[in-house]
Structure 1
Amino acid sequence: MQGVDTVLNVLGSVCLLLWGVRMVRTGLTRAFGATLRRAISACARNRFTAFAGGVGLTGILQSSTATALLLASFASRGLIPLSIALAVMLGANVGTTLTAQVLSFNLGWVSPFMIAVGVIAFLSNSSDKARHLGRVAIGLGLMLLSLHLLEAAAAPLRASPAFVAVLSGLQDEYVLAVVFAAAATWFVHSSLSSVLLVMSFASSGIIEPKLGLALIIGANIGGAIAPYFDQSTTDVDARRVPLGNLITRVVIGAGLLCFLGPIHHWLAFIDPAPARLLVNFHTAFSLVAAIVFLPLNDPLAALCRRLVPSRPQADDPGRPRHLDPNVLDTPAEALACAMRETLNLGDKVADMLRQTMDALENNDARAVKAIEAADDAVDHLYEAIKLYLVQTSRNELGEEDGRRYVEILTFTTNLEHVGDIIDKNLMELATKKIKNRYSFSAEGTAELRAFHARVLENLRLALNVFTTRDITLARRLVAEKTSMREAEMHAGDSHFARLREGRPESIETSSIHMDVIRDLKRINGHLTTVAYPILEAAGELAETRLKPSDQTLMRAPAGS
């Protein structure tokens, strides 16, 4: 049972370390996500400012993986040149070693202080930024605590014959040690955690310094594998940044692996303590990579373009264009992305509605097919937005973000319903009209065209209300619902008058004509719903449209 306890203690300590790293990264991203992204853009003037920006950014985020994914997103959208992104990554690799340097010192006394400060800040503040900074302090405290626990948990391993046998097998097999550490680091997605774990084993005397150096090389390579595979399904521009980072680490790692003996000898002069020796090598690894590859950024970028060439892709109208997965940890930015994609969805629905009259008025079968294809794209886009919103909601949403989340989800659902009404109902009517070669009367066509134009105008107004949340526009949209009800009654009266006159076109298209009016009114009803949450929040909605009955008045308390 002692062996089981040791394994569980080590595993728990490692998981606590990973959770601490995640808390720090998440807290800083949510508190300063937009500022950090602007900082990257500001540092992208040349490779040297980009390198410095990468050092600072990753020194704060404590994750070169997070920086790599962020840069991949920037590169895929053309916001930063590939060579500059690679320079930022070289700086990011140096920046992530700064945290390891700090944590390599004996700072155990800081852990309870940081946790206490973080919990107090988190529980005693209503401000989102203060709560996020409290989360950062808690994360730092947990990281320091986990290292202390890990050192204590790993102490029995020195007397474990099985563990000693495994390490003995790796002792002279440095290539195997590199592969093992790279795979482990890829699995946990954190080179910092792997380096700190190796450092803890070395300080406990469990591993020899040379083996520790090989494991550090593997941790550096594994830290570059994770973001590369995370971007494997994205477009080619996004994949090139982590590929360039992986190339630099593999090349430098292979070169340093050949000189472990001299490197150990040189680093021992600086600080012979095993933990400090390994963390110094971790920093030296990234510095050497920067010195070698910073002047070679342009050739490296060209190599990445050659290895991952651009391929012409057919435009997929159902592919989302604004849902950036790298801002999901910042709910305000993620909701802004979802809002932009919802406007894109609204434009596609507007195009469908615009083509509806062509199909109905001109018996255009091609327009019917085009609208059916467009509805498939709308469905795919709606599913993408819905999934993105669900991923966003897994984070803590403030009151305002929570309200906006519901508004976006509700409006996208209504837009998808509008698309279904156009495709499943209006196009079925158009197909029936085309099949039977019916024609509307001139007056009926004019009525439908006018009714359709008003609904199309209200769709544009609904998109503006959704974007601006303007109360005046929202009131206007709701007022249009009453006007559309009156317009429906007027169109019905006019149509029945034509039926009484015995107009043959009106008689044969009567059911189609009235169904089109009904479906257009249903569409208008779905569009109007976007205004109600805005008016309700502003106190502009009455509780009921019903007039009080006599019985209600009789039940009212005296003097009311």
Structure 2
Amino acid sequence: MKELFALLNFGGFIALLLWGVHMVQSGVQRAFGSALRVWMGRALSTRTRSFFTGMAITAAIQSSTATGLMISSFAAGGLLALTPGLAAMLGANVGTTLIVQLLSFNFTEIAPVLILIGVWLFRRNQPSRRRDLGRVFIGLGLLLLALHELVLMFSPLQDSQMLGTLLHSLADQPILALLLSAILAWASHSSVAVVVMIMSLAGHGMVEPPLAIALVLGANLGTAINPILETGGDDPASKRLPMGNLGTRIAGCLLALVLLPWLPLAMSYITESPARAVANFHTLFNIIVSLVFLPLLPSYAKLLRRMFPKRTDPNDPSRPEYLDESAHEVPGIALGNAAREALRVADLVQSLLAMARADFRRDNRHRIAHARYVNNAVNILDRHITTYLATLDQESMNTDDHRRLSEILAFSTSMAHASNIITNGLLGHTATLRKKGWMLTPAQIEQLTETLDRLIRNQRQAAALFVAEDIKSARFLAYEKDYFRELETSAAEQHLQDIKAGKLDQAEIGSFYLDVLRDVKAINSCLVDATAYPILAKHDELLPNRLRETEEAASNE
């Protein structure tokens, strides 16, 4: 019974330790999350910078798993090359050892002070950075208290027969000990907690140095599993980075197991404290693995690309067809490629408009899933176009090239925005119609069909203007905004008259119809902003604003 209560206490203190780590991690991410991601995205350029970036981020959020997931998300989104990503993962592994080194010293006396400061910041401030920093202080205090209680708990357990038998059975089974420790680290999402537990066991003489080293190896291996399982996507290429990180851990563990008979003696030269020896081995292991693999990362990345090839679907609309990386040397050709890809985006938007038009006339609910698929492809292509243009050599571009680059970006972004409004707005409205059993009046259906036909024509005109800058067509497209503005005004007046007349059943549908027309107007505005306005601005035919310059305003100037 004594052993049962001891195990329950052990589980409770480990849970408190994990909760402290979680509070520190969530507090830092809430306080500096967006800034961390922006800084991380800028800093992950070379191998060396990526290594120190991963180490710094992990030391801040106290979780190599969280850092690994962030780095994996960058790589999966195409924002990070594989080699710098692998370097950042190596840095994250070293960063988590710094936390263990810090916790190996006794800071229990300041735990109540940290909790007091944290509670004061949390209770005194509204949701803000200061409130989130309060979480960090509370988490640090709980973490230190949990470590102190674990140390006190292990003192009477030194004579525990059951725990002694378990640890003794693992003494001659380093591989089994490694696997058990890996499972524990994977389940807890924290190598810090597992290594600290091993330090406590070693400090009380409950595990021999060889067993402690095998358990530390397992803790390092276990946290490399989480990013693999939690990285989504069916593309095998998305697994390159987490699998590469796991590969470096496995290679390091195999080498350490071969050298296991001599490692305890080597650690004894550094310190005589068993607990400190565990922390030191944890740090040296990750540093040595990083030093060995950093020079080999380019070749290692090539191997991972062969093992996990990118899945390509020839019919996938989100796959770029014209963004040739080799054309970067000639900005004019690269801009032409980007323009051709942007026209593909326009074609996809036109297909979405056709789906929305058909969906309002008849029940095509089976097309909504396909529309979301097309909209996702539009957004992916827009990101590819933006990234492609952002990587062009700005110094080799002339004034006309810079202007064309801005036009392509505006066109692609506006088309992507229109695509989102069509999918989430217009097609969402058709789902509302079916869900609530509403029916538009024949006049509304006829007017909406005519309006969508006009919108499709404007979309084609916008695509033509993007290719050939015709000032007359640009003026015509800009004037179309008046039609959609008057259409919305007329529908709003009709809706108000229905409410005044007490036609509440029609008023609800009238409000819904007004929302539809507003989305149609917003889509048309995207088309005008994408092509007509840049041409009119180039020919100096746009006013700075729509306010009439009165005599009083002129006199004030």
Which TM-score band applies after superposition, normalised by the shorter structure? 0.5 to 0.7
Query: What is the CA-CA distance between 1:456 and the residue it aligns to?
Result: 8.9
Give the Cα separation in 1 of the matches to 2:92 and 2:268.
Answer: 26
Write out aligned runs for 1:389-538 (5 A). 417-420=428-431, 449-452=449-452, 483-484=490-491, 522-525=512-515
Indicate the SS of the match to 1:60.
helix
Which one is further off, 137-146 or 258-267?
258-267
Q: 2:368 aligns with which of 354, 363, 375?
A: 375
User: Per-residue deviation at 1:251?
Assistant: 0.3
Q: Which position in structure 2 is the counterpart of 1:549? A: none
Matched with 2:266 is: 266
* Residue 238 in structure 1 maps to residue 228 in structure 2: no
The 8 Å contact of residues 189 and 226 in structure 1, kept in 2 or not, is answered as yes
Residue segments in structure 1 that go unaligned for 5+ positions in a row: 319-346, 362-367, 383-410, 430-439, 458-475, 491-517, 532-560
Are the equivalent residues in 2 in contact too, given 1:353–1:422 (CA < 8 A)?
no
Alpha-carbon separation, structure 2, partners of 1:195 and 1:242: 21
SS in 2 for 1:45: coil
Kept after mapping to 2: 8 A contact 1:64/1:92:
yes
Asked whether the 8 Å contact 2:20–2:138 carries over to 1, the reply is yes
Change (3 A) 1:157 1:70: same
- Match for residue 508 of structure 1? none
Question: What's the offset of the Cα at 1:350?
Answer: 8.7
Q: CA deviation at 1:455?
A: 9.0
Offset from partner CA, 1:310-366 (integer Å, 9 cap, x none)? 112477789xxxxxxxxxxxxxxxxxxxxxxxxxxxx999965545557999xxxxx
Cα distance in 1 for partners of 2:517, 2:155 equals 66
Deviations 1:58-102 (A, max 9, x none): 111111111111011101111110000000111111111001000
Question: Corresponding residue for 2:33?
Answer: 33
Assess if the C-alpha contact under 8 Å between 2:54 and 2:88 holds in 1.
Answer: yes
**1:47 paired to 2:47:** yes
Distance in 1, matches of 2:349 and 2:430, equals: 6
Deviation at 1:205, TM superposition (A): 1.9
Contact 2:86 2:245 in 1 (8 A): yes
Aligned-residue offset at 1:529: 10
CA contact (8 A) 1:352 1:422 kept: no
Give 1:257's aligned residue.
Answer: 257
**Residue 283 of structure 2 corresponds to which residue in structure 1?**
283
Deviation at 1:148, TM superposition (A): 0.6
Counterpart for residue 109 of structure 2: 109
Distance in 1 between the 2:166 and 2:520 partners?
A: 63
Q: Is the 8 A contact 2:111 2:145 kept in 1?
A: yes
Look up the equivalent residue of 2:431 and give its one-letter code.
D
TM-superposition CA deviations, 1:485-518 (whole Å, max 9, x none): 557999xxxxxxxxxxxxxxxxxxxxxxxxxxx9
1:206 aligns to what SS in structure 2?
coil
| Residue 7 of structure 2: aligned partner | 7
How big is the alpha-carbon RMSD for the aligned residues of Structure 1 and Structure 2? 4.3
- In the alignment, what sits opposite 1:395? none
Question: 1:238, CA displacement in angstroms?
Answer: 2.8
Aligned residues: 415
Query: 1:187: Cα distance to partner?
Result: 1.1
- The CA distance in 2 between the partners of 1:74 and 1:425, in whole Å, is 41
1:296 aligned counterpart, secondary structure = helix
Gaps of 5+ in 2: 319-346, 376-421, 458-482, 498-507, 522-557
Change (3 A) 1:450 1:224: same
The structural deviation recorded for 1:423 is 7.9
Q: CA deviation at 1:294?
A: 0.1
Identity %: 37
Change in Cα spacing, 1:356 to 1:414, as seen in structure 2 (3 Å) is closer
How many angstroms does 1:164 deviate by? 0.9
The alpha-carbon distance between structure 1 residues 40 and 359, as it changes in their structure 2 partners (threshold 3 A), is: closer
Rounded to whole Å, the distance in 2 between the matches of 1:7 and 1:415 is 58
Distance 2:211 2:180 in 1: 12
The question of whether the paired residues in 2 share the 8 Å contact of 1:111 and 1:140 is answered with yes
- Tell me which residue corresponds to 1:171: 171
TM-aligned CA distance change 1:487 to 1:140, over 3 Å: same
1:453 to partner: Cα distance: 6.2
CA–CA distance in structure 2, aligned partners of residues 101 and 66 of structure 1? 19
Q: Distance in 2 between matches of 1:164 and 1:525?
A: 71
Give the TM-score of the pair, scaled to structure 2.
Answer: 0.65
SS state at 1:294 partner: helix
Residue 89 (1) aligns with residue 84 (2): no
Matches within 5 A, 1:177-192: 177-192=177-192
TM-score w.r.t. the length of structure 1 is 0.65
Deviation at 1:156, TM superposition (A): 3.0
Which amino acid in structure 1 is aligned with residue 514 of structure 2? N
SS at match of 1:260: coil
- Secondary structure of the residue aligned to 2:249 is helix
The letter of the residue matching 1:277 is A
Whether 1:69 aligns to 2:69 is yes
- Contact between 1:24 and 1:61, CA under 8 Å: does it hold in 2? yes
Q: Distance in 2 between matches of 1:521 and 1:120?
A: 48
Asked if 2 retains the 8 angstrom alpha-carbon contact of 1:349 and 1:378, the reply is no
Q: Secondary structure at the match of 1:138?
A: helix
Residues 373 and 520 of structure 1, relative CA distance in 2, 3 Å threshold: farther
The change in CA–CA distance for 1:424 and 1:198 in structure 2 (over 3 A counts) is closer
**1:11-63 CA distances to partner (integer Å, 9 max, x unpaired)?**
00000011111111111111111221222223223111111111111111111
Q: What is the match of residue 324 of structure 2?
A: none
Question: Are 2:352 and 2:374, in contact at CA under 8 Å, matched by a contact in 1?
Answer: no
Conservation of the 8 A alpha-carbon contact between 1:76 and 1:236: no
* C-alpha distance in structure 1 between counterparts of 2:248 and 2:161, whole Å: 38
> Is 1:93–1:286's contact at 8 Å kept on the other side of the alignment?
yes
Q: What is the correspondence of 1:182-221 to structure 2 with a 5 Å cutoff?
A: 182-221=182-221
Cα deviation digits, residues 418-463 of structure 1 (max 9, x gap): 132688999x99xxxxxxxxxx9xx999856545468999xxxxxx
Q: Secondary structure at the match of 1:149?
A: helix
1: CA distance, partners of 2:94 / 2:149: 27
CA contact (8 A) 2:359 2:427 kept: no
**Distance 1:27-1:419 versus aligned 2 partners, 3 A rule:** same
Q: Structure 2 vs 1, CA of residues 226 and 257 (structure 1 numbering), >3 Å: closer, same or farther?
A: same
Provide the secondary structure at the position in 1 that maps to 2:295: coil
